[in-house]
């Protein structure tokens, strides 16, 4: 199956470390199994939330390969890099290891439409036109603003572009605009999976997204919302989503978000240790207590949150 037809939830995987910063393979395996059981239709590794810049090249490839071998679902590998040599190397190795495609975010120095489109053409030339790739559109972090027309241009100029990781903000109208391009025939169909920690997933599905690509600590909930929404159970989708929204919102904070995510995944027994490799954010005791409180409130309606505190 091509990634262009991907649906459901591609979980953004964190990288489990132990307290000394060593990669924890056992937790990687358990996490991979957990994502699959949680209803993930794909997994994305080596993204920003995977602490990719703290890994050396050998480590990065080893993690990607390990997840690919075990996952049983398509794996997208983040290959964003400051130069095309490193991007190409990781992209080719990841594809050789069985990746379904790669994800590329633009460098934060790009400004004009031409610069952005040009960058993706050069990236495709570097990694090869045979490597399916995902555009990561995340202005809040990358400071690069892509209009729907620029995304269409990238899609039309590069046959290997198969998916948009959508995390513009606000972004609902952008989904509508892109689906409009598809309807009017000016853009071929791609998969649109949304990010931003899931903060707008309820309405993103209704605007035409195919699912989510994000790493919220309850991916099983994301999978449920996508399923309910796709099935037309609007109120049920929103009810479930709203119950999680206080925690989604809390986890979506820049900078501390990953610490919250790892803390909850540890509590859920998915990873052994919440530590980030240095330099990494630590959760203040007050924040930890706030997350516990949110979990206890969530447990009133979602049993998956029960017994975690």
CA-CA distance, 40 to 156, in Å (whole number)?
Answer: 29
Of the candidates 20, 22, 12, 30, which has an alpha carbon nearest to the alpha carbon of residue 269?
30
Identify the three-state secondary structure at position 303. helix
Q: Is 173 in the site for its own copies (CB under 8 A)?
A: yes
Contact (CB, 8 A) for 104 and 138: no
Minimum distance from CB of 302 to its own copies (Å)? 13
- Considering the rule CB under 8 A, would residue 200 count as an interface residue with its own copies? yes
Closest to 244 (Cα-Cα) out of 158, 154, 305, 172: 305
Other C-beta atoms within 10 Å of 15: how many?
Answer: 27
Q: Using the rule CB under 8 A, give the single segment among 3-11, 25-33, 182-190, 241-249 that binds its own copies.
A: 241-249
Q: Which is nearer to its own copies, 118 or 269 (CB)?
A: 118
Q: How far apart are CA 204 and CA 260, in angstroms?
A: 24
Asked if 18 interacts with its own copies (CB under 8 A), we say no
**CA-CA distance, 135 to 4, in Å (whole number)?**
12
d(CA 254, CA 197): 10
Give least dist CB 278 to its own copies, A. Answer: 7
What six digits make up the tokens of 241? 């989503």
Is residue 59 near its own copies by the rule CB under 8 A? Answer: yes
Contact range with its own copies by CB under 8 A, out of 33-41, 128-136, 181-189, 237-245? 237-245
Report, in Å, the least distance between residue 105 CB and its own copies: 11
**Interface with its own copies by CB under 8 A: which range of 24-32, 159-167, 264-272, 283-291?**
283-291
Q: Interface with its own copies by CB under 8 A: which residues? A: 52-57, 59, 81-86, 88-89, 108-109, 111-115, 118, 122, 125, 144-147, 149-150, 169-170, 172-173, 176, 199-200, 202-203, 206-207, 238, 242, 245-246, 249-250, 253-256, 278-279, 284, 286-287, 290, 297
């Amino acid at each position: 199956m091509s990634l262009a037809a991907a649906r459901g939830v591609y979980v953004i995987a964190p990288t489990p470390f132990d307290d000394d910063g060593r990669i924890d393979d056992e937790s990687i395996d358990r996490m991979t199994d957990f994502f699959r059981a949680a209803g993930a239709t794909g997994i994305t590794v080596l993204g920003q939330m995977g602490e990719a810049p703290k890994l050396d090249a050998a480590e990065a490839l080893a993690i990607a390969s390990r997840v690919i071998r075990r996952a049983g679902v398509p794996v997208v590998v983040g290959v964003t890099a400051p130069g095309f040599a490193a991007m190409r190397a990781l992209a080719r190795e990841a594809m050789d290891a069985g990746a379904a495609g790669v994800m590329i975010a633009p460098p934060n120095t790009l400004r004009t439409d031409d610069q952005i489109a040009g960058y993706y053409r050069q990236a495709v030339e570097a990694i090869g036109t045979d490597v399916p790739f995902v555009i990561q559109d995340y202005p809040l972090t990358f400071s690069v603003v892509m209009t729907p027309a620029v995304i269409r241009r990238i899609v039309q100029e590069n046959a290997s572009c198969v998916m948009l990781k959508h995390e513009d903000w606000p972004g609902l109208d952008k989904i509508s605009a892109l689906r409009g391009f598809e309807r009017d025939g000016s853009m071929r169909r791609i998969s649109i999976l949304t990010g931003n920690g899931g903060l707008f997933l309820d309405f993103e599905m209704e605007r035409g997204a195919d699912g989510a690509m994000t790493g919220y600590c309850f991916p099983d909930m994301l999978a449920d919302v996508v399923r309910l929404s796709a099935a037309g159970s609007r109120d049920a989708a929103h009810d479930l989503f709203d119950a999680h929204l206080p925690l989604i919102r809390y986890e979506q904070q820049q900078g501390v978000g990953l610490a919250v995510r790892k803390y909850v995944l540890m509590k859920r027994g998915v990873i052994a240790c919440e530590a980030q490799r240095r330099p990494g954010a630590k959760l203040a005791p007050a924040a930890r207590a706030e997350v516990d409180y949110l979990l206890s409130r969530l447990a009133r309606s979602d049993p998956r949150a029960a017994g975690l505190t």
